[in-house]
Amino acid sequence: MRYDEAMPTGATKADVVLDRLRGDILAGRQRPGERLRYTDLCDRYATSAGVLREALLRLVEQGLVNGEAQHGFRVVPLSAADLLELTEARSELEAVTLRLAVSNGDVNWESRLIAVHHLLTRAPQLDPDDPERLSDAWVTAHDQFHAALLDGCDNQRLKSMASTLRASAELYRRWSIPLGGESDRDVSGEHACILEAAVARDTPRAVDLLTAHIRRTTDILLTSQDAAGAAAADQAAAMTPE
């Protein structure tokens, strides 16, 4: 099916291309640091250069793509320094936003949060066709859960900034599976505890749990990066003649 066919009601061509390209980036079909070539992408998504550029600029805003003068666009590279800064920014901003959400959220907020969490528990976390990748259904439900968690906050600017940072972190989180693995991590349990604390209006516990949840992915990636660096050093040393 062409990507410009059967568009959702109200969606523009750029919306459709944006969703497809974002999904390809997060699924690893477009790798971190990879150049995004107009000709290839226009053919893949059956779209024009103008529509593609609009989608790419929106992905720049989401922190998934970098625009380079005279060189076009490329998927953002993974960087330990950037990840640490992003994690710190998310932890601080989402803590403030969650405090307001717990204080101001009404029963409708609770109901939506519980409903979205239920959908998250029913989505398969890993892609059955590629067990080293998170499934698209789980990623969508996960994003909806975190958005619903903060939605009780009345400050639209805080929620907008939190959403932007979360989108930037999505690439790192998606790659925490193939790079570091999460076999010993109870992600479902983490979400359940955050939900329980938020609905119980236990603000300090909810904030602590959310912050730990955010930082755990960072720890996994950094540990994986250290392990990869050590392995490369060991291999190089083994190949060096004495």
The CATH number of residue 26's host domain is 1.10.10.10
Nearest Cα to Cα of residue 25 among 54, 66, 53 = 66
Q: Are 168 and 64 in contact (CB under 8 A)?
A: yes
Report pLDDT digits (tens) over 90-111: 999 999 999 999 999 999 999 9
Report pLDDT digits (tens) over 143-188: 999 999 999 999 999 999 999 898 888 888 777 665 555 567 889 9
What average pLDDT score do residues 200-227 get?
87
Report pLDDT digits (tens) over 9-28: 557 888 999 989 988 887 77
- pLDDT for residue 100: 98
Assess whether pLDDT exceeds 90 at residue 200.
yes
What average pLDDT score do residues 201-206 get?
98
Nearest Cα to Cα of residue 19 among 67, 51, 48 = 51
In this structure, are 48 and 21 located in the same domain? yes
Instruction: Please indicate, yes or no, if residue 238 is contained in any of the structural domains.
Output: no
pTM value is 0.76
- pLDDT for residue 43: 94
Check the CA dihedral 42-46-48-53 and report its sign: negative
Assess whether pLDDT exceeds 60 at residue 242.
no
Query: Helix 13-26 crosses helix 156-180 at what angle (to 10 degrees)?
Result: 40
Letter for the amino acid at 143? D
Report pLDDT digits (tens) over 78-90: 888 999 999 999 9
Assess whether pLDDT exceeds 90 at residue 54.
yes
Instruction: Please say which residue of 60, 75, 90 terminates a domain.
Output: 75
In this structure, are 123 and 190 located in the same domain? yes
In this structure, are 57 and 84 located in the same domain? no
- pLDDT for residue 56: 94
Q: What percent of the chain has pLDDT over 90?
A: 53
Measured in residues, the chain has a length of 242
**CB-based burial label for 101 (10 Å; 0-12, 13-18, 19+):** buried
- Strand 126-127 relative to strand 130-134, pairing: antiparallel
What is the CATH classification number for the domain harbouring 129? Answer: 1.20.120.530
Assess whether pLDDT exceeds 70 at residue 241.
no
- What value does the mean pLDDT of the chain take? 84
In this structure, are 71 and 169 located in the same domain? no
Letter for the amino acid at 22? R
Who wins on pLDDT, 3 or 58? 58
- pLDDT for residue 177: 63
Nearest Cα to Cα of residue 67 among 81, 79, 53 = 53
In this structure, are 103 and 182 located in the same domain? yes
In this structure, are 119 and 192 located in the same domain? yes
In this structure, are 68 and 177 located in the same domain? no
Domain assignment of residue 128, given as a range: 80-230
Domain count, the chain: 2
Instruction: Please indicate, yes or no, if residue 4 is contained in any of the structural domains.
Output: no
Instruction: Please say which residue of 75, 95, 111 terminates a domain.
Output: 75
Nearest Cα to Cα of residue 217 among 182, 192, 190 = 182
Q: What percent of the chain has pLDDT over 70?
A: 84
